[in-house]
Amino acid sequence: MGNHRAAIVIGAGISGLVCAYRLKTLGVDVLLIEKNDRVGGVIQSENIDGFLIERGPNSSQGTEELIALVEELGILEELVEGNPKAPAYVYFKGRLHAVPSGPGSFIRSDLLSPAGKLRVLKELFVPRRGHRTEESVAAFARRRIGDEAAERLVAPFVSGIYAGDADLLSVKAAFPRLANLEQNYGGLFRGMFAKAREARRAKKNEGAVLEKAAPTRRLCSFRTGMAFLPKTLASKLGEDLLTGCTELRIARAPDLRTFTLEFERGGNRHQLVADHLILATPSNVAASLLGLSSTELRDLLDEIEYPPLSIVSLAYETSRVSTPLDGFGFLVPPSEKMNILGCVWNSSLFHNRAPNGTSLLTSFVGGARNPDAAQSADAELVSIVHGELQKVLGISTEPRVISITRYQRSIPQYNIGHFERVRRIESLLQEAPGVQLIGNYLHGVSTGDCIKEAERVAKSVVETLI
C-alpha cells in the first residue's frame, strides 16, 4: 500500500462508501478507512433464527440515485420492493387509521374531523408567509393545513423519519421541498398542481424517452437486508478499503497542500499522506478530527443534536394478532402519550423476514420527543413495547424477543437554526481547501439523500483534480 493517495475518505457508512466508490470509478487514487471491523455504519442487517432484522433503516425510498447505483453495481435482481399500495397507519384515539393516499380516501377517512378536512382544503387560500426566518415543521403545518392535520398527520410523519419533535425541527432544513412549494408557488396545493402540469408537459415532450425510464419504486430493500448494499460497495473497493483503523490523527502539512494521517491497524502504526480529505463520520467525530484547525467549525458540528433511540424487534404468532398486518406499520401522534414512536411490520412489508406463521414487528422508542424512554432497561423496554403493541394490535400471546438495538446518538436533528448552521459550516470549509464533509447531518438523513450528496462531493473532488 502506497503512503500517498489523491483522496482519503474517513468513515465507511453509506456516505463514505458511495463517495469512495464513485471516486474510484472516476479514476481517482482513493482509500477509505474505517474504525470498526465492519462497514455500513447504522445500516446493519442480521438473520437471527430465521428472522431478518434491521438495526438501522428498515427500507429506503427507491430514489433515482439509489436505483441508478443498484443498476450500476449489477445487483438489481437482489432488490425487493414493498407493495406500493400497502397503507401506513396512524394510531389515534384507540384505532388505526390508514393515512389518506388520495382525494377519495381523504374524504372517507375519519382521522380528521369534517372541520379538520375543510381546514386542509382551505390551504389553497392561505397566503404565502412573508418573512424568511426559519419556521418549525409544526408551525408551518398548523399555518398551512391546520391544527388537526399538523398533530395527526405531520407530527407522526416527522417521528417516523427523524425520531424528532415537529415543534423543534426546521421545515426549511428538514423538509425543504415543502418550504419551496410555498415560496415558489404560493402554497402546497398550488405547488403540487403546478408540478403535476410540469410533469405532464415533460412527458408529452419527451414521451419516448420517459417510456423507457425505470419505474419509480416506493419502498425498497434487498433480499438479505439493507446491509447488502454497503457490503457490495465494500467488495468493489477491495484493497482500497481498510477497516479496524483506530487512534486516528490528522494534521495538515506545513505546505498546506496535503494532509498527514496516522492510525493504528493490526498492532502497527501507519502513516499516510492525502491531497484531499473527505470526512464521512458523525458530526461529533468530524468535530474532534478537525477541531484543532477551526474552533468555530468544531463548535458548529458539536451543536447538532442526536437523541437516544432504542429499536425493539419482537415476534408473535400471526394467528394471535387480531389486527390484520396488511400495511407498512403505524405511527403515533404526540397526543397519544405513548412510548412507541412507530412500528414497522417487517414480515408484511417484505417477504422472507420471518418464519411462516410468525410476524416480525420492529418498534422505535425514545427520540427527541421522549429521550428518557430509550434509556429503559431491556426487560422494561420489552414490557413497554409489548404492552403498547397489545393495545394497538390486539395481541393475545407473549412476544419472542428477537433483538434490542440502542443508539445513544441516533438520527441528527435538523432543528431551528440548522439551515444557517450548515451554511456557515460550508463557508468555513471554503477556508480549508482539500477538506470535505459528508453525512446524514448536512443535507438529508435518508439513504437516498446520503447517496446523492456523496455522489455530488465525489464529482466535485474530481473537478479539482482536472
Per the CB < 8 A criterion, the answer to whether 313 and 300 are in contact is no
Per the CB < 8 A criterion, the answer to whether 448 and 61 are in contact is yes
Per the CB < 8 A criterion, the answer to whether 402 and 53 are in contact is yes
Give every CB contact of residue 207 below 8 A, 6+ residues apart in sequence.
none
Q: What is the pLDDT of residues 76-135, one digit of tens each?
A: 999 999 988 889 999 999 999 999 988 888 999 999 999 999 999 999 999 998 777 889
Give the pLDDT confidence score for residue 318 in this predicted structure.
97
CATH topology of domain 100-126+134-207: protoporphyrinogen ix oxidase, domain 3 (1.10.3110)
**pTM beyond cutoff 0.85:** yes
Q: Is the pLDDT of residue 212 over 60?
A: no
* Mean predicted confidence (pLDDT) in 353-368: 97
* Mean predicted confidence (pLDDT) in 189-203: 83
Tell me what percent of the chain is helix, strand and coil, each rounded to the nearest 5.
40, 25, 35
Per the CB < 8 A criterion, the answer to whether 429 and 277 are in contact is no
- The sign one gets for the Cα dihedral 343, 347, 352, 355 is positive
Give the pLDDT confidence score for residue 433 in this predicted structure.
87
Q: What is the pLDDT of residues 388-408, one digit of tens each?
A: 999 999 999 999 999 999 999
Give every CB contact of residue 379 below 8 A, 6+ residues apart in sequence.
none
CA dist 329 to 176, 199, 346, 359, Å?
A: 26, 31, 8, 12
Per the CB < 8 A criterion, the answer to whether 220 and 60 are in contact is yes
Q: Is the pLDDT of residue 351 over 60?
A: yes
Exposed, middle or buried: residue 61 (CB in 10 Å: 0-12, 13-18, 19+)? middle
Q: How far is the C-alpha of 58 from the C-alpha of 446, rounded, in Å?
A: 11
* Mean predicted confidence (pLDDT) in 224-233: 98
Do the domains 4-42+226-293+432-465 and 100-126+134-207 sit in the same CATH topology, yes or no?
Answer: no
* Mean predicted confidence (pLDDT) in 51-56: 97
Per the CB < 8 A criterion, the answer to whether 26 and 462 are in contact is yes
Per the CB < 8 A criterion, the answer to whether 439 and 15 are in contact is yes
Q: How far is the C-alpha of 134 from the C-alpha of 417, rounded, in Å?
A: 7
Q: Is 4-42+226-293+432-465 assigned to CATH 3.50.50.60?
A: yes
Q: How far is the C-alpha of 280 from the C-alpha of 376, rounded, in Å?
A: 31
* Mean predicted confidence (pLDDT) in 141-153: 97
How high does pLDDT run on average in the chain?
93
DSSP conformation letters of 26-69: TT--EEEE-SSSS-STT--EEEETTEEEESS-S-EEE-HHHHHH
* Mean predicted confidence (pLDDT) in 362-381: 97
Q: Which three cell numbers stand for residue 446?
A: 435518508
* Mean predicted confidence (pLDDT) in 407-413: 97
Which sequence spans correspond to the domains of the chain? 4-42+226-293+432-465, 100-126+134-207
Reduce the DSSP state of residue 347 to 3 states and report it. helix
Give the pLDDT confidence score for residue 2 in this predicted structure.
63
Q: How confident is the model at residue 465 (pLDDT cuts 50, 70, 90)?
A: confident
CA dist 99 to 60, 95, 139, 213, 390, Å?
A: 19, 12, 21, 29, 21
Give the pLDDT confidence score for residue 208 in this predicted structure.
42
Q: How confident is the model at residue 211 (pLDDT cuts 50, 70, 90)?
A: very low
Q: Is the pLDDT of residue 455 over 70?
A: yes
Residue with cell 502539512: 253
Give every CB contact of residue 277 below 8 A, 6+ residues apart in sequence.
7, 8, 10, 250, 259, 261, 434, 435, 436
Mean pLDDT lowest among 184-198, 217-231, 235-249, 364-378: 184-198
Give the pLDDT confidence score for residue 132 in this predicted structure.
72
Give every CB contact of residue 6 below 8 A, 6+ residues apart in sequence.
28, 29, 30, 274, 275, 276, 465
Give the pLDDT confidence score for residue 195 in this predicted structure.
84
Name the nearest CA neighbour of 42 among 56, 60, 59, 61.
Answer: 56
